[in-house]
Amino acid sequence: MTTTTHRATTRSSVLRHLRPGPRAAAVLVVSVAATTVLPLLAPPLTAHFVDDAIGGASTRHLVLIAAGYLTLAVAGQVARMLTAWLATGLAWDGTNRLRETLAGHALGLDMAYHGRHTPGEMIERVDGDVVAVAEFVVAFLLDVVAGVLLLAGVLVIVFAVDPRIGGFLLVYCVLAGYAMARAQRLAVPSAAGARAEGAAFFGGLEERLAGAEDIRANGAGEHAVHRLYQAGSAWYWANHRSGRIGVGLLAGTWVAFAAGTAVALGLAAWGQRSGAITVGTAVLLFQYTLMVRAPFERLIDQLRQYQAALAGITRIGDLLAVRRTLPAPADPRPLPATGPLELSVEGVGFAYPDDGEQVLSDVTLSLAPGETLGLVGRTGSGKTSIARLVLRLYDPTEGAVRVGGVDLRDADPGAVRRRICAVTQDVQIFAAGVRDNLTLFRPPPADRVLRDVLVDVGLGDWLASLPDGLDTVLGGASGSGVSAGEAQLLALARAFLADPGLVVMDEASSRLDPATERRIERSVDRLLTGRTGVIIAHRLSSLSRVDKIAVIDGGRVVEYGRREDLVADPTSRFARMLDLAGVSR
Ligand SMILES: Nc1ncnc2c1ncn2[C@@H]1O[C@H](COP(=O)(O)OP(=O)(O)OP(=O)(O)O)[C@@H](O)[C@H]1O
Percent of the chain having pLDDT more than 70?
A: 94
Best mean pLDDT range from 171-175, 272-276, 531-535: 531-535
pLDDT at 127: 79
Question: From atom 3 of ligand 1, which residue's Cα is the shortest distance away?
Answer: 352
Among 74-78, 135-139, 409-413, the least confident range: 135-139
The sheet carrying 420-423 orders its strands as 420-423, 502-506, 532-536, 372-377, 548-553, 556-562
- Output the CA 324–ligand 1 centroid distance in Å: 21
Q: Whose CA is nearest to atom 9 of ligand 1?
A: 385
Low-confidence winner among 256-260, 305-309, 388-392 (lowest mean pLDDT): 305-309
Q: Does the pLDDT value for residue 307 go beyond 80?
A: no
User: pLDDT, tens digit, for every residue of 20-61?
Assistant: 778 888 888 899 899 889 989 999 999 999 999 999 889 999
Q: Please report the atom of ligand 1 found closest to the CA of residue 111.
A: 1
* Topology, domain 343-429+482-581: Rossmann fold (3.40.50)
Instruction: Indicate the range of 116-120, 180-184, 388-392, 401-405 predicted with least confidence.
Output: 180-184
Q: What is the pLDDT of residue 534?
A: 94
Ligand 1 centre distance from Cα of residue 490 (Å): 26
- Our measurement of the distance from residue 418's CA atom to the centroid of its chain's CA atoms, rounded to an integer in Å, reads 26
- Res 554: pLDDT: 92
In a 3-state reduction of DSSP, which class is residue 370? coil
> Helices 129-139 and 3-18, interaxial angle, to 10°?
70
- Calculate how far, in angstroms, residue 386's C-alpha sits from the geometric centre of ligand 1: 10
In tens, the pLDDT along 10-21 reads 667 777 777 777
> What pLDDT, on the 0 to 100 scale, is given for residue 513?
75
pLDDT at 1: 46
Q: Give the closest residue (by CA) to ligand 1 atom 17.
A: 384
Can you give the pLDDT at residue 304? Answer: 62
Q: Which residues does a 6 A CB cutoff place in the pocket of ligand 1? A: 115, 352, 354-355, 359, 377, 379-385
Q: Write down the mean pLDDT value for the chain.
A: 85
Instruction: Give the span between the Cα atoms of 48 and 58, in whole angstroms.
Output: 13
CA atoms within 13 A on the CB side of 379: 2
In this predicted structure, what is the pLDDT of residue 346? 94
* Ligand 1 atom nearest 555 alpha carbon: 14
Say what angle helices 59-108 and 3-18 make with each other, to 10 degrees: 120
Q: What would the pLDDT profile of 172-231 be if each residue is shown by its tens digit?
A: 888 877 877 777 677 677 877 888 888 889 888 888 888 887 888 877 888 888 888 999
ipTM rounded to 2 decimals: 0.96
Compute CA 390 distance to the chain's CA centroid, rounded to the nearest angstrom.
Answer: 28
For the ranges 137-146, 451-460, 532-541, the lowest mean pLDDT is seen at: 137-146
Residue type, 402: R
Domain spans of the chain? 11-321, 343-429+482-581
Distance CA 208, CA 225 (A): 9
Q: Contact 123/205 with Cβ under 8 angstroms?
A: no
Task: State the architecture of 11-321 in CATH terms.
Answer: Up-down Bundle (1.20)
pLDDT at 503: 93
Which pLDDT value is given to residue 309? 78
CA of 408 to the centre of ligand 1 (A): 21
Residue 396 pLDDT class (50, 70, 90 cuts): very high
